[in-house]
Amino acid sequence: MCRAVQLRQITTESEPAIRAEPGSFRDPGGRIYWYGERVLRTVMPSAAKDFEYVESSGLIPALVERGMLIPQTHLSLELLGDAAGDASYLLEHPKLDFISHPYEWPFRALQAAALLQLDLYLAALERDVTLSDATAYNIQFDGVRPVFIDRLSFRRYVDGQFWLGHRQFCEQFLNPLLLRSMFGIPHNAWYRGSPDGIGAAELSALLPLRKKFSWRVFTNVVMQGSLQKTRSSDAHKAVAGKLRFPKTAFVRLLSGLRTWIASLQPADRVPTTWQEYARHNSYRDTEAEAKRNFVARFVSDSKARTVWDIGCNTGDYSAAALRAGARSAIGFDFDQGALDLAFDRARSEKLAFTPLFLDVTNPAPDQGWGQAERRGLRARAKADAVLALALIHHIAISKNVPLDGVVAWLVDTAPRGVIEFVPKTDPMVVELLRLREDIFPHYDEQHFVKCLEERARIVRSETVSASGRKLFVFERAVT
């Protein structure tokens, strides 16, 4: 049943280092290992029977073919040597360009991931396969398309089993989505502070009485939250007394959640500041066109394959980079409205573009167990190029970060890129300084160029607006 595919070129002069992925430890059924830059997964004897059952069910190729599940290849255990321990199977998965965390996802991404989790489950149950968990960290994005990455979550389903991941699903998908769709509050800050998600009891405590009368809210949030606190002994009795959850009720619960989640919309009452930025910004269409052309030329000259677009707004320059030959673009912005638009745009235009939430002055840190379970943004920065258009004045002036620090951070992010300098005479900067004292005597092009030249080579520059905005291409040594 398992096709042991021999590695094409295992032996090289120096064997690649094998190291266990620090974020993969919760399920003792297996573990992720890094073999150099390759991603391997062990299956331990405790999960081997379930693994074989799922392999024979035909589910895996069906899901891979539909793009819902990351592909897998069987390898010989010998490859891992002693590190394999008493593992029963070894798999290889393709390496992803970038791992994002649910607290970096905009609403639309979390919603798409939740729907994938439910669709996978419904497809799995048809073949008598269940999932051992429902963690959002098992889903990653290829552009805006969610892909499930944990093969080991699939286990044999026995009729009558409960949905063991129901609570986790609610905490990591449903409740964070409800926070935005009921209150207009983005999930990102809360989720980041609480990486296992938002508890039913906490969300329930916020709900006004009238919202508690909805059947779905009542069962999944209110009832679950209050029973979670008060009746643990009864739950223990119920499970120990071998209570049964019929498959029909299971399917109904999953499909009910699917319909509900698909209908959720952000409850923001007013458009966010940047949602209509494209229409209200301070430069004209010809200037925007000049910037797109500049970015396109940079990407085709540098042959950058992966691009980070910091302050991406709705993704104009990521789209230009992709058209010029980049393989994928990851956009970062702190404005939820712009991110929603960017996500919808990437979906409708089929762009390999993933918009993510980021406050540049406070990126995701290393956190979780041992501060190694969920890596911070810096540890995941492996882009070929960075774009920072119409960005630095927001950090240097709105957030008081010294210009030198802003340039250092951007140059650290990727070995080459495009940075736009926006002078004090630009209407946007005038606006930023309107209600505050100008405490930025060093914020000028000359100082910017000095900061950049201390760290990188300026390849070329071009003035792109009447107000004096200027784009710079930089390049530094690859570390």
* Those residues with Cβ within 8 angstroms of residue 336's Cβ, 6 or more apart along the chain or in another chain: 106, 107, 180, 186, 266, 268, 272, 357
Which of 84, 113, 114, 200 binds another protein (CB under 8 A)? It is 200
Please name which of 63, 54, 94, 89 lies closest in space to residue 74, comparing C-alpha atoms. Answer: 89
For another protein, the closer CB: 219 or 425: 219
Rg (CA), the chain: 25
Q: How far apart are CA 72 and CA 94, in angstroms?
A: 8
Binding region for another protein (CB under 8 A) out of 8-16, 238-246, 353-361, 457-465: 238-246
Does 47 participate in binding another protein (rule CB under 8 A)?
yes
φ/ψ of 38, rounded to 5, equals -95, 150
Residue 353 amino acid letter: F
Binding region for another protein (CB under 8 A) out of 37-45, 106-114, 223-231, 462-470: 223-231
Which of 124, 253, 295, 407 binds another protein (CB under 8 A)? It is 253
* Per-residue binder mask for another protein (CB under 8 A), 127-166, x = binder: -----xx---------------------x--xxxxxxxxx
Q: How far apart are CA 466 and CA 415, in angstroms?
A: 30
Does 243 participate in binding another protein (rule CB under 8 A)?
yes
Q: How far apart are CA 236 and CA 23, in angstroms?
A: 30
Query: For residues 396 and 443, is the Cβ–Cβ distance under 8 A?
Result: yes
For another protein, the closer CB: 98 or 218: 218
Taking the complex as a whole, the smallest distance from the CB of residue 317 to another protein amounts, in Å, to 42
Binding region for another protein (CB under 8 A) out of 27-35, 70-78, 136-144, 331-339: 27-35
For another protein, the closer CB: 164 or 458: 164
Residue 95 amino acid letter: K
Residue 15, Cβ neighbours under 10 Å: how many? 12
Task: Report how many residues bind another protein under the rule CB under 8 A.
Answer: 49
DSSP states along 430-448: HHHHTTS----TT-SHHHH
Taking the complex as a whole, the smallest distance from the CB of residue 135 to another protein amounts, in Å, to 8
Residues that bind another protein (CB under 8 A): 26-29, 47, 50, 132-133, 155, 158-168, 170, 200-201, 219-220, 223-229, 231-232, 234-236, 238-239, 241-246, 248-249, 252-253
